[in-house]
Structure 1
């Protein structure tokens, strides 16, 4: 199951990345309560959102699964691996951080209406090569024109920002909880993530007992959208190993 970033819906996943996953695995993309076209209220805690995800998985009667979490989705994935360790087989943490250090929420993320320019700023490096890959990504996002998901509301944004802020409260003792995640974990990021700084990825790799670290060059928070086939292939190999 794939858990997406701040304010995102099903249509924020890169089709090329999802197709790469789907070549080898059954893929579940989900909006949780209040997000996109789903009814309900978005929880304003990471823990609450994790239990919301469990309710969805219970409803579809899935009791063993792999998790991929991007950004805030990675926070949720960590909680799920801790709370329901017997159900989570393997874990992929992309552009995310451990409890106590959520990173920097840049002003662009606060805007009432997300824009293409904002996605390029938040997710891609300033280099010409990375920005060009970002433009390609935006074109792929626009490929599906029928039955697109509903955009997230400002209430979703605000609830998720509260959850992120609480997750990032400084307390280094919280890093110790990562030792309880015994699953194999792929920890990945771009080499210069300014949204959730790459140093957090190294922290995860250092404190998770069974972590594999993967850093992509000339890339930022959206490294997996800059390298969709490469990252998708790496994830497929990791899950199958």
Structure 2
């Protein structure tokens, strides 16, 4: 019997607090599940199959849509703290007493809050292409990035612009990513709505309001943490990843060259190896 992959995993549903969460769960059973939290407006199919399948070869992975996003019901939260509580409710509904947690972009915001308010739940934490609450340069995106990120009907060109470095080599890797993430045709997740996009952008703005004191929250994250980033993120400044690494007590950082926001999609094999070794 063929093993389940990112392309063949069935979409399942579980209810918590009146929300019907869409999720996919597959991979190596008997391991601590790795819950993966998606980027701005992203859904189950916006993950890179090459990354997810390489992770799933060594551990069980759980992909999920936030409430109000794509195939999950409910209303999208307008702040990160509420989303974190929703994701905690999701893990409770699945009966998960301990998880590893990977948050990408806005998912990294949510993952930080989850690690702070429910430390017993998180064994190890991976923060990819993300930044801390209140850090300099986090309050909104520069205009060209915002235009592409908030496009009413996002295109491949939009993703290439915001996710990959503006070099020939990085853009070529981005085109390869587009081919992988569009490969699934059956049981594909539905696009995010404009309402969920607007709510998530409100959450991004609230998280990024300059607040030097908020940075001290990071000292409360006690689980081992791996920070993954591209060397020139145009969406969330790479320098704030170094800031996180300095403030989280047990953190290490991996910077990928010639890469921007979606370094883990540009280097799926290398990123999966780094993450699996860290979680193992």
State the TM-score bracket (shorter-chain normalisation). over 0.9
Q: Which residue of 2 aligns with 1:229?
A: 269
Q: Could you list the per-position Cα deviations for residues 134-170 of structure 1 after superposition, in whole angstroms to 9, with x for gaps in the alignment?
A: 0000000111100100100001100000001000010
8 Å Cα contact 1:104-1:197 kept in structure 2: no
* 1:163 and 2:203 aligned: yes
- Decide whether the 8 Å contact of 2:98 with 2:121 is kept in 1: yes
Conserved in 1, the CA contact under 8 Å of 2:177 and 2:265? yes
Query: Which runs of 5 or more residues in structure 2 are unaligned?
Result: 1-34
Q: Which has the higher contact order (CA 8 A, sep 6+)?
A: 1
Distance 1:24 1:157 in 2: 33
Q: Secondary structure at the match of 2:92?
A: helix
Paired position in structure 2 for 1:9 = 43
Q: Distance in 1 between matches of 2:165 and 2:254?
A: 17
More moved, 71-80 vs 98-107: 98-107
Aligned residues of 2:230 and 2:259 also touching (Cα < 8 A)? yes
Structure 1 residue ranges (4+ consecutive) displaced by more than 6 angstroms after TM superposition: none
Correspondence 1:68-107 to 2 at 5 A = 68-101=102-135, 102=138, 104-105=140-141, 106=145, 107=147
Secondary structure class of the residue paired with 1:63:
coil
Q: Give 1 or 2: higher strand fraction.
A: 2
Alignment of 1:1-241 (within 5 A): 1-101=35-135, 102=138, 104-105=140-141, 106=145, 107-240=147-280
TM-score w.r.t. length of structure 2: 0.85
Q: How many residues align?
A: 240
Structure with greater helix share of residues: 1
Cα distance in 2 for residues equivalent to 1:73 and 1:170 = 19
Offset at 1:103? 5.4
What is the DSSP-based 3-state SS (H/G/I as helix, E as strand, rest coil) of the residue aligned with 2:69? coil
Q: CA deviation at 1:83?
A: 0.5
TM-score normalised by length of structure 1:
0.98
